[in-house]
Amino acid sequence: MEHSNSIHIYLIRHGMTAYNAQKKYLGHRDEPVLQDQLQGYENLRKHVKKVKFDIIYSSDLLRCRQTAAYMFEGESVYFDRRIREIDFGDWEGKTYEQLKQNPAYCKWLSDWEIECIPNGESWRGFQFRINKFMDDQILLDEYKGKTIAIVSHGGVIRQIVSRLSEHLKFWDITVEFGKAIVMEIKLTGGDIICKSLSEVPIVENANL
């Protein structure tokens, strides 16, 4: 592991909310974590306590702030609204069953990269702000040799991983509660090389 030339990134999804449990769309609505669900992060918490992080970022939404406080108690955390989940607009708090007869929703499902969510966010807008965060805060020569944690949302983590790994597309990536995706990347002449991708805590037959 050429740590001096690499950036190590730990990507952690926030703890489960009531909306997640009920399979409701949850983007910018500021729902709290179900407190008993953070117990499922204990093994991950023990793992990250052994890691020296140079900087910790989190979405500014409550569910991420609560998860970051639990995972990194006593550590400085930098909050950034650019790593919020996509804004689901009119569909916030609704389920697939409630929306499946909605023509705008059906159109979005079939062409989600082009269609904009009513009173919400386009895929391109979402992608742009996540990439801007990465370019401004993470993918910098000064971060070579650093280890970074990002506490965010499922969609955000999928976007980051798919951008940094040429072999994975957005929907190829599974982002589980209570686990972290760990990436080692190398910056070479403006190129990004993903040297390793793993999941912690390690479980048998883990499938990203």
Buried-exposed string 16-36: b where 16+ CB fall within 10 A, e elsewhere:
bbebbeeebbbbbbebebbee
| pLDDT above 70: residue 14 | yes
Q: How far apart are CA 66 and CA 15, in angstroms?
A: 8
pLDDT band at 203 (very low <50, low <70, confident <90, very high): low
Q: Cis ω on the peptide bond leading into residue 103 (within 30° of 0)?
A: no
Q: What is the pLDDT of residues 67-101, one digit of tens each?
A: 999 999 999 999 999 999 999 999 999 999 999 99
- Given this model, what pLDDT does residue 208 score? 45
Cross-strand pairs, 149: 10, 56
Which are the contacts of 175, defined by CB distance < 8 A and separation ≥ 6? 11, 13, 154, 157, 158, 181
| pLDDT above 70: residue 21 | yes
| pLDDT above 90: residue 202 | no
Whether 186 and 106 have beta carbons less than 8 Å apart is answered as: no
| pLDDT above 80: residue 113 | yes
Cross-strand pairs, 188: 191
Q: What is the pLDDT of residues 147-195, one digit of tens each?
A: 999 999 999 999 999 999 989 999 999 999 999 999 999 998 778 999 9
Percent of the chain with pLDDT over 90: 91
What is the C-alpha radius of gyration for the chain, rounded to an integer number of angstroms?
17
> Residue 160, exposed/middle/buried by CB under 10 A (0-12, 13-18, 19+)?
buried
Q: Are strands 147-152 and 78-79 parallel, antiparallel or unpaired?
A: unpaired
User: Taking all residues of the chain, what is their mean pLDDT, rounded to a whole number?
Assistant: 94
Q: What is the pLDDT of residues 30-47, one digit of tens each?
A: 999 998 999 999 999 999
Which are the contacts of 163, defined by CB distance < 8 A and separation ≥ 6? 130, 131, 134, 192
